[in-house]
Amino acid sequence: MGSGGRATERNNSGTEVVKRAPSSKPPFTLGDIKKVIPPHCFNRSLIKSSYYLFVDLFFSFLFYYVAATYIIPLSAPYSYLAWPVYWILQGSVQMGLWVIGHECGHQAFSDYPWLNDTIGYFLHTGMLAPYFSWKYSHRRHHSNTASLENDESFVPKKKSSLNSFARVLNTPPGRLFRLVVLCSIGWLLYVCFNVSGRKYEKFANHFDPKSPIYSDRERFQILLTDVGLLVASYGVYKVGMSQGLTWLVLVYFAPLVIVYGFLVVITWLHHTHRSLPHYDSTEWNWLRGALSTIDRDYGILNTVLHHITDTHVAHHLFFTIPHYNAMEATKAIKPFLGEYYQFDDTPIVKAMWREATECFFVEADEGDSDSKGVYWFNNKI
């Protein structure tokens, strides 16, 4: 097979051309893919995982110390420059911590499930994120990727379901509005109100133990998640009472906005590109869905974010591979998957605007009776 599929190419005139990923049943199985990955890539090392955890924690606490000790006393105009730099650096490092917590949820941190969940619980709760709640909804996303009926997050709308307001959102101002919402409160809208998530028969969110997202055996851990968030929120409240609201916003909350902006954008871009198919229940199966994702290049942030950005295809196929082995696993599967592997190196800000423009809804190709259950992104209302 080839060396992998670029999602876009340029023709002789320099125009960007989308190359669709294959949507047919792959000529290989998951077991075939696993055979080409070096066996040691599946090994989880508690020492290695702990090293990355401690490095991220060190830099996060260092940045907290610098902000509280040296930036708080600064006066304008120096503070106007120092705070954004701190927010970006701290938000990037804490997004790396989020990724480690995410790996704990996938049991990729170590061979000990109790340790994985303990570390993941404290990491995510410290960033006011519902660990077990998101762990289970995210697991359902991995189980149903690219299914229009059952995927758990960023489920695209069919053209037939659009309302009249969609025309407003499909204009340049509408796209800008969608991107601002996505980057600022998109995470809160999802966990609190299931915005962009799978449609359930009743109201769903990530805090109600009786939410339809969860099974009966998971409900106690959803309650445990809520208790942790209440305790963490009380701790944040006490810090705010001691240091002041301005201190709390500048030092603690502003970097979290960066973290959750990263999280939503990264997740959205992994599953949103005109080269990627989605499937209804007549065509979907797990392997076709898992391959309907795309790796992207975030530059130096690939390393800071532990390569969740440029190894996402391998992650969807084998989610217990730890991040420090994911690059080697990706390198191994690319030539085997050929065109079934998708990669896009478009600069991220440009990609965000392009995807917001081109990927507004999904529809099946007209006149193609052989693939009625395969849907592609489009924007022509």
pLDDT band at 369 (very low <50, low <70, confident <90, very high): low
Q: How does DSSP classify residue 305?
A: T
Report how far residue 210's alpha carbon sits from residue 212's, in angstroms, rounded to the nearest whole number: 6
For residue 232, the tally of other CB atoms under 10 A from its CB is: 17
Overall average pLDDT of the 103-111 stretch:
98
For the chain, what are the domain ranges? 45-378
- Count Cα atoms within 13 angstroms, Cβ side, for 97: 30
129: closest CA among 179, 89, 94?
94
The CA-atom distances, in angstroms, between 351 and each of 60, 206, 268 are 29, 29, 11
Record the pTM.
0.94
Report how far residue 302's alpha carbon sits from residue 11's, in angstroms, rounded to the nearest whole number: 29
SS3 letters across the chain: CCCCEECEEECCCCCEEECCCCCCCCCCCHHHHHHCCCHHHHCCCHHHHHHHHHHHHHHHHHHHHHHHHHHCCCCCCHHHHHHHHHHHHHHHHHHHHHHHHHHHHCCCCCCCHHHHHHHHHHHHHHCCCCHHHHHHHHHHHHHCCCECCCCCCCCCCEHHHCCCCHHHHCCHHHHHHHHHHHHHCHHHHHHHHCCCCCCCCCCCCCCCCCCCCCCHHHHHHHHHHHHHHHHHHHHHHHHHHHHCHHHHHHHHHHHHHHHHHHHHHHHHHHCCCCCCEEECCCCCCHHHHHCCCCEECCCCHHHHCCCCCCCHHHHHHCCCCCHHHHHHHHHHHHHHHHHHCEEECCCHHHHHHHHHHHCCEEEECCCCHHHCCEEEEECCC
Please provide the average confidence, as pLDDT, over all residues in the chain: 95
- Residue 301: is its pLDDT beyond 80? yes
Report how far residue 87's alpha carbon sits from residue 90's, in angstroms, rounded to the nearest whole number: 5
How many residues in the chain?
Answer: 381
- Count Cα atoms within 13 angstroms, Cβ side, for 235: 11
353: closest CA among 185, 195, 180?
180
- Residue 368: is its pLDDT beyond 70? no
Residue pLDDT, tens place only, 240-290: 999 999 999 999 999 999 999 999 999 999 999 999 999 999 999 999 999
Number of H helices, E strands in the chain: 16, 8
Check residue 13 and give its pLDDT.
65
- Residue 211: is its pLDDT beyond 60? yes
Q: Which of 18-22, 48-52, 213-217, 284-288 has the lowest mean pLDDT?
A: 18-22
- Strand pairing report for 342-344 and 8-10: unpaired
- Strand pairing report for 277-279 and 374-378: antiparallel
Report how far residue 172's alpha carbon sits from residue 362's, in angstroms, rounded to the nearest whole number: 19
For residue 47, the tally of other CB atoms under 10 A from its CB is: 7
- Residue 163 in tokens: 């309302």
- Residue 9: is its pLDDT beyond 80? no
Overall average pLDDT of the 333-354 stretch:
97
Report how far residue 60's alpha carbon sits from residue 79's, in angstroms, rounded to the nearest whole number: 20
- Strand pairing report for 342-344 and 5-6: parallel
Q: Are 300 and 12 in contact (CB under 8 A)?
A: no
Chain centroid offset of residue 159 CA: 24
Check residue 167 and give its pLDDT.
92
Check residue 16 and give its pLDDT.
75
